[in-house]
Amino acid sequence: MVTGANGFIGAALANHLQAKGYNVLGTVRDDANIARSHGRVVSVGNIRAETDWHDALLNQNFVVHTIARVHQMRDSSKEALAEYRYINTLGTLNLARQAASMGIQRFVFLSSIKVNGEFSVIGEPFTAEDDPAPADFYGISKLEAEKDLFRIAASTGMEVVVIRPPLVYGPGVRANFRSMMAWLYKRIPLPLGAIHNKRSMIALDNLIDLISVCLEHPAAANQVFLASDGEDLSTPELLKRLGKALNRFPILLPVPEAFLTKCATIIGKGSVAQKLCCSLQVDIEKNKNILGWIPPVRVDDALRRTAADFINDKKM
């Protein structure tokens, strides 16, 4: 069973597993989303602490949980934290308890690198063994879910695997990554030429492959894995390589980082500037050592696929 089977990650995962021979059941929020999904799909309503998963869990062996209340830039109130917890923590644990009671063998939880923190020091990437340091409500809610999932695993015998991806990109990507492609496509000059950071990302195909391995590999049971393409890029390097994929040469102005950050803060875009300027590196040696997993898709190939989808969408 794959939750969020109409989402960016869930849809790609369901299709991939079906192609591998799995008998996949996808879940979506309502009947309107069933028509936009492929394969066997059922609606389960909103993901809450009270959601009834019984019918969807019947005759299943594995669960991959991709649904979450996603990070919102302006969520700063106590009410927002409660909503994150209600969906990402309590909603996840409700599903996990029902899954364990119905004999599910393995529960794969798509968490977030935000559990580790927002930024890392260049050359000191996050590892799966680092002490968590979430800095926002989204990361806090994901960490709380992780902790209780492992408690459920210990008390029931259901195996749990946690995967923490950073930014995921690929065909159909939205939000900031799509905005970045739009800037490049329109040849908008960008004040990002003087940034010297390093950031990990993961292509959708690489993440799907890792999830697939974590479903099957015996050594994945009750482990936390970080995810990335295995190649970290600076913001200017990413823009240049993405621009090449889009057949657009980026115009990168060498604006000093401190000045850029100060100006962005004045206009209320300080958090966006931080993401563009700061580093966030991820170490995936554990994946290689325990699972024998190496990202199968190269960054430039993944960027080309992402860019081609963006261009085709623009032409429609």
Active centre residues (catalytic): 138
Residue 47 tokens read as 């993901």
- Comparing C-alpha atoms, which of 177, 21, 27, 184 is closest to residue 91? 27
Cβ contact 196:234 at 8 Å? yes
CA distance 140 to 68: 13
Q: 10 Å Cβ neighbour count for 74?
A: 8
Tell me how far CA of residue 58 lies from CA of 104, 216, 226, 268, 307, in angstroms. 9, 20, 30, 48, 40
SS3 204: helix
CA distance 27 to 7: 10
SS3 167: strand
CA distance 270 to 135: 15
